[in-house]
Amino acid sequence: MSVLLVGTLDTKGVEVGYVRDRLRAAGVPVLVLDAGVMGPPAFPPDVGRDEVFAAAGTTAEAVRAAGDRGRAVALAAEGAAKRAADLHRQGKLSGVLGLGGSAGTTIGTAAMRALPVGVPKLMVSTMAGGQVRDYVGTRDLMMLHSVVDISGLNRISRAVLHNAAGAMAGMVAGRTPSVSEGVGQHPLAHARGSPEDKPLVAATMFGVTTPCVEAARAVLEAAGYEVLVFHATGTGGRTMEGLVRDGLIAGVLDITTTELADELAGGVLSAGPDRLTAAGEKGVPQVISVGSLDMVNFGPPETVPERYKDRLVYRHNPSVTLMRTTSDEMAALGQELARKAAAARGPTAVMLPLKGVSAIDAEGKAFWAPEADAALFGAVRAGVAADEFDLHINDRAFAEAAARKLLEMMRGVKQD
């Protein structure tokens, strides 16, 4: 198996060659992928640009003739992603390392996002000092700031690139047999019968629903399940849904569906319109609750949109401002949750804690608003059957009931 080294050999050939040589000196096999298009490559690659653009349904010559740099980058990213996925399925790829500016980062990280969690991914980028959400996506992708532009070798770029090669060499050498996949196998899918072969449960959590999820996790782990807890920050929800679609999850404890509120009201932690759909589409058993639907997330107070200037807000910390959802918003959220739950193909239970949906939605707390909560619960009831509890979401009895319900449903579903 080899590290796939991604770069544009017409503009970054010297730097790519330097990293290739450092990896080989560390005993790491390397395949160089050339995503360049304009000038000739600095040296012959292992995966040439013709092969890359063919994977995107075109040719390097056609892309060059079009003279559209933005389109060329998009096609190179598509082709690099497909070739990386192919190499992984063939069991030839141990990790991906890329280097570049904005275009090279777009191409390199596309290849990395095409691979499952667990495959080492490292991008040396001039863009790493800024907003990297779109580059990282939902994968375990590391961004290393290049400090200087990737334009020639100097005392700074040599140090950064040398460290990048060493980091990748360490990651691929350090992958243990328990997480090393076979040909075409996901790194998180252990071989049947191994000591770590516990069915996986995905759970969603916020700081204000932590007591619930922690208590439920204890019940699930005692029953022989491994629990993956996802922070419901947008990326967390998308990552969980992706693993469900990858077929790795035996059950979902979706306690904290707060990302729906951010999607509705324009908060910063939306997971997109497809949140709360993967388990239903795949027929995976799921317990759904309404954790933290009382809040929409923004950054510091000055980032709250002007249209919300008269709303009730709570300063969670200097970087996070929470806005209380209204009765109308809670009703809309209840309708959406019920619609998605009712459409599920597999075992699904909706559980409602009638005494509050977060740590600050309780009697005497900042977001306690019984009328708004009632609007949520009423909308859910109108759209789907729900189990109701005269408890707060963080009461141990509610958490344990949710865990037991999921166990019951999972035991009734044959696992592959």
Q: Does 189 map to a domain?
A: no
Q: Whole-model pTM?
A: 0.76
CATH of the domain at 263: 3.40.50.12030
Q: Which of 5-19, 217-231, 375-389 has the highest mean pLDDT?
A: 375-389
Same domain, 261 and 150: no
Residue 312 falls inside a structural domain: yes
CA atoms within 13 Å, Cβ hemisphere of 303: 14
Asked whether residue 124 falls in the same domain as residue 210, the answer is: no
User: 66 in a domain, yes or no?
Assistant: yes
Name the domain boundary from 115, 150, 179. Answer: 179
Ranges 175-179, 312-316, 337-341, most confident: 337-341
For the chain, the domain total comes to: 2
- Helix 155-174 crosses helix 13-25 at what angle (to 10 degrees)? 40
Task: Using alpha carbons, list the distances in angstroms from residue 2 to 8, 51, 120, 398.
Answer: 19, 18, 11, 49
Q: Do the bridges between strand 121-125 and strand 286-288 make them parallel or antiparallel, or are there none, so unpaired?
A: unpaired
- Are 95 and 226 part of one and the same domain? no
Domain of 301 in residue numbering reads as 200-411
Q: Please tell me the predicted confidence (pLDDT) of residue 176.
A: 47
User: What does the CA dihedral 398, 403, 408, 411 come to, rounded to 10 degrees?
Assistant: 180
- What is the pLDDT at residue 245? 92
Query: CB count, 10 Å around CB of 346?
Result: 16
Give the dihedral of Cα atoms 344, 350, 356, 359; nearest 10 deg. -60
Q: pLDDT tens for residues 226-251?
A: 999 999 989 889 989 988 998 989 99
Q: Shortest CA distance to 228 belongs to which of 287, 236, 138? A: 236
DSSP 8-state secondary structure symbol assigned to residue 209: G
Q: Are residues 231 and 375 in the same domain?
A: yes
Q: How confident is the model at residue 39 (pLDDT cuts 50, 70, 90)?
A: confident
178-207 residue pLDDT tens? 333 555 556 565 433 444 578 999 999 999
Last residue of a domain, one of 127, 149, 179: 179
* Residue 149 confidence (pLDDT): 84
Residue 288: predicted pLDDT: 98
In a domain, 188, yes or no: no
Please report whether residue 346 resides in a domain. Answer: yes
Phi, psi of 136 (to 5 degrees): -80, -40
- The percent of residues above 90 in pLDDT, for the chain, comes to 75
Q: Which of 179, 209, 227 is the last residue of a domain?
A: 179
- 214 and 82 in one domain? no
* Residue 296 domain-assigned (yes or no): yes
28 and 144 co-located in one domain: yes
Indicate left, alpha or beta for 226 from its phi (over 0: left) and psi (-120 to 50: alpha). beta
User: What pLDDT digit, counting tens, does each position of 89-122 carry?
Assistant: 999 999 999 999 888 999 999 999 999 888 999 9
The pLDDT of residue 191 is: 38
Give yes or no: residues 124 and 254 share one domain: no
Query: Is there a domain that residue 187 lies in?
Result: no
pLDDT at 179 (0 to 100):
37
Q: Kindly report the CA angle at 24 between 23 and 30, in degrees rounded to 5?
A: 80
Residues 24, 140: one domain? yes
Q: How many residues does the chain have?
A: 416
CATH of the domain at 81: 3.40.50.12020
- Domain match, 159 and 218 both: no
Comparison of pLDDT for 179 and 355, the residue scoring more: 355
Co-location of 239 and 302 in the same domain: yes
Cα–Cα distance, 327 to 312 (Å, whole number)? 13
- 215: in domain: yes
Q: How confident is the model at residue 414 (pLDDT cuts 50, 70, 90)?
A: low
Do 25 and 144 belong together in one domain? yes
Residue 364 sits in the same domain as residue 228:
yes
